[in-house]
Amino acid sequence: MSLSVEDRQQALQRMQCEIFDLVVIGGGITGAGVARDASSRGMRVALVEAADFASGTSSRSSKLIHGGIRYLENLEFGLVFEALSERQKLFTMAPHLVHPLKFLIPIYRGGRVPAWKMGLGMWLYDALSLFEAPEMHAFLDQKELFHEYPLLQKRGLTGGFTYYDAYMDDDRLVHETLRSARAFGAEVANYTRVTGCCFENGKVQSVECKDIETGLQFNLRARHVVSSVGPWTDVLGGQFWSHWKPRLRPSKGVHLTFSRERFPLKDAVVMGAENRIVFAIPRHEMVIVGTTDTDFDEDPAEVVTNQGDVKYLLDVIHQYFPGAWITSKDILGCYAGVRPLIDDGAQTESKTSREHEIWTETCGITFVAGGKYTTYRKMAEQTVAQVLSFFPIEDQVRFAHSQTLAPLNPLVTDVTLERARSDSPYWSQMSQLPTEVTALLADRHGGEALAVMRSLPFSQERDPWMWLWCVEAIHAVKHTMCLHLADFYFRRTPLVLSRADHGMAFVESVAAVMGNFFGWSESRRREEINALQNQVHRELSATFSFDQT
């Protein structure tokens, strides 16, 4: 399942001369899902992404596959049911990317939601998952909580509920979905921006594209076009039609990251803050705390964390974990994203619905926006079904069968993943790599891990972690169309967010590996390193300069 620079070249060539059944604009999770669904039905599909895949909202989420416990309060039962049923499917479709995670909701005296109501919500949550959650919810009394969660604020704590949802690697979920779409025959190209649209007799004929890497401009012809550009929906709509009426109410969300040593959480904790909730989410290497929810009407590409966001999240941490003494100096990293919410006229950002909307303009362009990561497969299925309703009946029959419930990566199923995990100590003996390194490769790549390991022989003079990120870089360029060093650091690995040095200890070696592959000159290599460092500085500057007074 290759997705390399050669695949990109081939895709761009085909895009200049063929007519596709469907052109998908945007390579976040929504576009990737639509491309996979449509190509799995046998449609000829082309997907173009303006920057790196998943560089928009789809690498900036809370990284949860969840029903959304808080939507129960808004009585959005349909949304929660759909999300919980998709969660169940994703456990088997992508066992290397979606993992069960236990959550605690602590209950405090005088809290916004009384314990009885929370208990009712917990039963409802289990029922809406058809009692298929990894474990059912449980109540813990004050004594059990003091023992199990010693860092929690003890004053006013009366009890708490535990329940299960899941965490994931959001960016990698996009890459694996695109690899699968490619395996079904879709042509995909990143760094290819749609700049306009050509109509004939009121019908869309093609979209105008620009290859950002070379400057090449071309027309990409299609029978139908899907716009899945998330928070850019109104920008693209405005580019196509001068009379476009905005549909979105974009909202900014920020997360901070901490090392697990400094903030030792064993389960995720749900914290209440000003009528919304903030999660503290432990995952392998770090704890992620977020998110904020504030209206955002600037260019989504420019979204960054500011000092107000940092202060808001640190205040919530202090309120719930006063004894942890977390300060801004403990922050490893941060990231900000823009939710592409549909404007439903709600009073506040956090009350705006997370439902998605799909609508088709008479010219043959279908828009899909809003929704959640968790439901991307379902959204994609509904989008393609709507697209097909505009096709002749024989095509509707021909393309009726979608295959999106198959594993995203046939080399990574429950069985191959377990096998890789149990083989990893043996790999470690054979290769003289530490078991932590081989275990991490097994977890990330399941049945593909051995192939990843074999791409670069390990010699004992090398630092094993350095070697690890070099083989990951080789995998990224061959199988995820990774074109730039910053794209590797930000969206193929957790390096920027999980390490105090943001992975800079490995930068020369990784740049050398990528440079060898692409034939970069010494000056190009330096440019790539500078671009990475500038991006780290731009995105993380609020935490570098946070003023605690």
220-259 mask for ligand FAD (x: CB under 6 A)?
A: --------xxxxx---x----------------x------
Select the residue interacting with ligand FAD from 337, 407, 446, 503 (CB under 6 A): 337
Q: How far apart are CA 100 and CA 260, in angstroms?
A: 18
Specify the residue, 254 or 437, whose C-beta has the smaller distance to ligand FAD.
254
Single out the segment in contact with ligand FAD by CB under 6 A; choices: 23-31, 217-225, 260-268, 381-389: 23-31
Pick out residues in 272-301 that bind ligand FAD (CB under 6 A). 291
Question: Contact region for ligand FAD (CB under 6 A) — 21-29, 502-510, 523-531, 539-547?
Answer: 21-29
Q: Which of 44, 182, 372, 491 binds ligand FAD (CB under 6 A)?
A: 372
Count, residues in the chain: 549
Q: Which is nearer to ligand FAD, 57 or 413 (CB)?
A: 57
Residue 165, token pair as written in the block = 């949802």
Task: Please list the residues that pair with 288 across neighbouring strands.
Answer: 257, 281
> Which of 86, 330 has the CB closer to ligand FAD?
86
Query: Which member of 193, 262, 351, 421 binds ligand FAD (CB under 6 A)?
Result: 193
Query: One symbol per residue from 141 to 180: x for binding ligand FAD (CB under 6 A), - otherwise; what is it?
Result: ----------------------------------------
Query: Where in 116-265 does DSSP place strands (E)?
Result: 138-141, 157-168, 187-189, 192-200, 203-211, 217-227, 251-259
- Residues contacting residue 107 through CB under 8 Å, at least 6 positions apart: 113, 115, 118, 157, 158, 159, 160, 161
Two tokens, residue 296: 């955002």
Reading the block at residue 233, the tokens are 């929906």
Bridge partners for 369 per DSSP: 357
Phi, psi values for residue 305, rounded to 5° = -70, 140
Among the listed ranges 150-158, 334-342, 418-426, 490-498, the one in contact with ligand FAD (CB under 6 A) is 334-342
Distance, CA of 174 to CA of 187 (rounded, Å)? 15
- Rounded least distance, CB 119 to ligand FAD, Å: 24
Contact 199, 179 (CB under 8 A): no
Count of residues interacting with ligand FAD (CB under 6 A): 39
Q: Which of 231, 248, 271 is nearest to 149 (CA)?
A: 271
Calpha distance 164→495 (Å, rounded): 27
DSSP bridge partners of 46: 23, 187
| Shortest distance (Å) from residue 423 CB to ligand FAD | 32
- Scan residues 37-66 and list those touching ligand FAD (CB under 6 A): 48-51, 55-58, 60-64, 66
Which residues of the shown chain bind ligand FAD in the complex (CB under 6 A)? 25-31, 48-51, 55-58, 60-64, 66, 193-194, 228-232, 236, 253, 291, 337-340, 371-374
